[in-house]
Structure 1
Amino acid sequence: MERESLISRIVFFCNKVLALLTFLAYILPFLAPKLFPFLSVLTLLLPLFLLLNAAFFIVWALQLKRKMLLSGIVLLLGITFISKLYRFNETTLELEPDDFIVMSYNVRLFNKYEWLPNKKVPSDISDVIQDYNPDILCLQEYTPDEDVRLRNYPYKNVQLEGNKNKYGQAIFSKFEIINTGKITFPNSSNNIIFADILKKNDTIRVYSMHLQSIKISTDIHEKLNESKSKFIFKRISEAFKQQQQQSELIKTHYDSCSYAKIICGDMNNSAFSYVYRNIKGEMKDAFQEAGSGFGKSYNFKYYPARIDYVFVEKSFLVKEFITDNQVKLSDHFPVITRLKMIDKTQK
């Protein structure tokens, strides 16, 4: 009996430590990463914290112990975070003539350096794009490739860097593009590009973002020793500080734009981060509006990493959202959303 009591005390101690870390992770999205760069890494672990709290709650509840209240309160206070982690009901609204589709996809240079043992990746990605047939297509880690077929897009904004090997971002559109631009990040090869797109009588500003990468291997079986773990945490911390600056640059830029805005792309950070909160602002997260499941957009084994987003202003109705995790042609999965401009008289 004493042994069980000791085990129970040890387990509850772990529960209390987890609760403390979870509360801390709840606070961090409201604090700039440059203030606590090392602690900001906890936001990446928040999905795991929430799942473990749910497990503790169930264990204590099955034993009819009041200890369940600790994790219960933690989960209750984090209800808004849970909605960012998992969505139970997918929304698909009726198709209407004015609907249009936006697709965002980090294509990883179309497998230029053969990370995948598939020499048809450029052609296969072209087939995926043709199947979804988006009206507006945003590609991160884009590079010109003769096997990529994008003939249905008469308008584009392609911004490339490099001499021999060119890479960058691209926005393709079936609608007329009347203006284009780029936001350059200090001390980084990442950036944001944008296009002002004319759809009937409306002008839409579309941003494609690719924020600083934290460069974590998708293979979690890689052996980590103490020094390597410290190096990874330091690298993540530095990347988060850069992302903070980058998020502030895009926020300043889009605040000065009066057009209806869509921001999509690879943010390289979770929905529980300061960077997410800063960029999203009052906009709607298309996944939260109409997606389902975890919305996992990065192919990280055994962990639901959602780092690719589509944010839209309230002038858009999100009618459908898909993360196609069956398309394994990059280290990211494509995200697709169907939108409709809301009649100003109906707001």
Structure 2
Amino acid sequence: MKNLSIINKIAFFFNIVLAMLTFVAYLLPFLAPKMFPFLSVLTLVMPLMLILNLVFLFYWLLQFKRQVLLSAFVFLIGITFFNKFYKFSGKDLIVEDNDFTVMSYNVRLFNVFEWMSKQNISEDIVDFVASQDPDILCIQEYSTSADVKFSDYKYKYILMQGDNIRTGQAIFSKFPIIEKGEIDFPESDNNVIFADIKMRRDTIRVYSIHLQSTKISPDINEKIDEAKSKKIFRRMSEAFKEQQLQSELIKEHKNECHYPMIVCGDMNNSAFSYVYRNIKGNMNDAFEEAGEGFGKTYDYEFYPARIDYILTDKRFEVKNFKSFDNFVNSDHFPITTRLMLKQEE
């Protein structure tokens, strides 16, 4: 430190603070949000912290300063987190007869309350789904008020709830649905639905999940003062505690299922969170297996937020994953994956 200039001393101070926060964030996926709800907010900015550590690494490296060791150590410890928010390359796609495709999409009630000024959103969504032609379609924040018809699907399960504002979830399938149900969350408008689908000779279970929202506006022009910041952090902390309970209910329900499972939907939390880790268990994340780039699923203008997922049982081979972040008809983007159920030998 003695040989550092004033600027470098200030830079190293912030480097140390960042390193400490990053180490805390590394531990948070293993700690229940009820224990440290305020600190859980750090999981949302984990990608930014990794990038800033990388910036510091190159900053010290270019000056041949030994302070580079701190950022190098932090980054190397967290290297396994890197694939959760950025993939340098996907998979070479080989299409086979037994493949099937799954789409998950939070449609924000098809814009029935006109949050977006764009016209004909419901028609655009229907046309987009038809163009992608997924075999199984999971929709969160579904609305019957929009009178949307996905006519290519013979089988469906739609669950609506609420009094004044009716919202729900839907699973559409080209394969027969032989059983269906829901996981009800206490004191929440959010829930989970599932469908057992007969696919050729096999039966699989598909969950569509929608966890408690943090209610953070993506509007970067909104003025944030100290009081507003405290309110946002308090709201997020409460949401993460509710999500913990919801994730535990999902985990318990999954443990009772013996079918190969697919979990789709909007977790309203990052891939670095306790909630994500709790639901994922030993499943594969389709983005990590076959995605490319940031896999952005939520419409923050300058931040590649990934809060929507398709998780698959290890009995599935993930052959492709795509996030359509140029299709802006909701505050979320649709995601798709191509899968093949491995045959037991």
Measured against the shorter chain, the TM-score band is over 0.9
Q: Within 5 Å, give how 1:135-214 maps onto structure 2.
A: 135-145=135-145, 148-163=148-163, 165-214=165-214
CA contact (8 A) 1:122 1:145 kept: no
Query: Residue 238 of structure 2 corresponds to which residue in structure 1?
Result: 238
Deviation per CA, 1:285-317, whole angstroms, max 9, x where unpaired?
000000011101000121110000000011000
Secondary structure, aligned partner of 1:64? coil
Q: Within 5 Å, give how 1:82-121 maps onto structure 2.
A: 82-121=82-121
CA contact (8 A) 1:316 1:340 kept: yes
CA contact (8 A) 1:123 1:147 kept: no
Q: How much has 1:3 moved relative to structure 2?
A: 11
Distance (Å, rounded) in 1 between the aligned partners of 2:189 and 2:162? 10
Query: Residue 41 of structure 1 corresponds to which residue in structure 2?
Result: 41
Q: How much has 1:145 moved relative to structure 2?
A: 4.6
Q: Which amino acid aligns with 1:111?
A: N
Distance (Å, rounded) in 1 between the aligned partners of 2:166 and 2:268? 21
Distance (Å, rounded) in 2 between the aligned partners of 1:122 and 1:83? 33
Distance (Å, rounded) in 2 between the aligned partners of 1:111 and 1:96? 37
CA contact (8 A) 1:290 1:321 kept: yes
Q: How much has 1:163 moved relative to structure 2?
A: 3.8
Query: Residue 277 of structure 1 corresponds to which residue in structure 2?
Result: 277
Deviation per CA, 1:129-183, whole angstroms, max 9, x where unpaired?
0010000000000001555231111111100013454210000000000000000
Q: Which amino acid aligns with 1:322?
A: K
Distance (Å, rounded) in 1 between the aligned partners of 2:77 and 2:328? 36
Q: Which amino acid aligns with 1:311?
A: L
Distance (Å, rounded) in 2 between the aligned partners of 1:191 and 1:146? 21
Secondary structure, aligned partner of 2:248? helix
Distance (Å, rounded) in 2 between the aligned partners of 1:70 and 1:293? 27
Deviation per CA, 1:252-271, whole angstroms, max 9, x where unpaired?
00100010100010000000
Q: 1:178 to 1:19 in 2, by over 3 A?
A: same
Query: Residue 65 of structure 1 corresponds to which residue in structure 2?
Result: 65
Secondary structure, aligned partner of 1:84? coil
Distance (Å, rounded) in 1 between the aligned partners of 2:3 and 2:146? 68
Distance (Å, rounded) in 2 between the aligned partners of 1:171 and 1:192? 11
Distance (Å, rounded) in 2 between the aligned partners of 1:112 and 1:23? 43
Secondary structure, aligned partner of 2:322? strand
Query: Residue 316 of structure 1 corresponds to which residue in structure 2?
Result: 316
Q: How much has 1:85 moved relative to structure 2?
A: 1.4
Query: Residue 81 of structure 2 corresponds to which residue in structure 1?
Result: 81
Query: Residue 31 of structure 1 corresponds to which residue in structure 2?
Result: 31
Q: Within 5 Å, give how 1:214-293 maps onto structure 2.
A: 214-293=214-293
Q: 1:183 to 1:220 in 2, by over 3 A?
A: same
Q: Which runs of 5+ in 1 are unaligned?
A: none
Q: How much has 1:6 moved relative to structure 2?
A: 1.4
Aligned-residue CA RMSD in angstroms?
1.3
CA contact (8 A) 1:123 1:149 kept: no
CA contact (8 A) 1:126 1:149 kept: yes
Q: Within 5 Å, give how 1:123-142 maps onto structure 2.
A: 123-142=123-142
Secondary structure, aligned partner of 1:223? coil
Secondary structure, aligned partner of 1:304? coil
CA contact (8 A) 1:203 1:259 kept: yes
Q: Which amino acid aligns with 1:114?
A: E
Q: How much has 1:4 moved relative to structure 2?
A: 6.7
Size of the alignment, in residue pairs? Answer: 344
Secondary structure, aligned partner of 2:87? coil
Q: Normalised by the size of structure 2, how large is the TM-score?
A: 0.98
Q: Within 5 Å, give how 1:285-304 maps onto structure 2.
A: 285-304=285-304
Q: How much has 1:343 moved relative to structure 2?
A: 1.1
Deviation per CA, 1:54-111, whole angstroms, max 9, x where unpaired?
0000111011111111111111000111111110001132111110000000000000
Q: Which amino acid aligns with 2:121?
A: V
Distance (Å, rounded) in 2 between the aligned partners of 1:145 and 1:40? 36
Distance (Å, rounded) in 2 between the aligned partners of 1:245 and 1:147? 33
Distance (Å, rounded) in 1 between the aligned partners of 2:147 and 2:32? 43
CA contact (8 A) 1:261 1:313 kept: yes
2:340 is equivalent to residue 340 of structure 1: yes
Q: How much has 1:35 moved relative to structure 2?
A: 0.4
Distance (Å, rounded) in 2 between the aligned partners of 1:137 and 1:11? 49
Distance (Å, rounded) in 2 between the aligned partners of 1:90 and 1:300? 23
Distance (Å, rounded) in 1 between the aligned partners of 2:7 and 2:339? 53
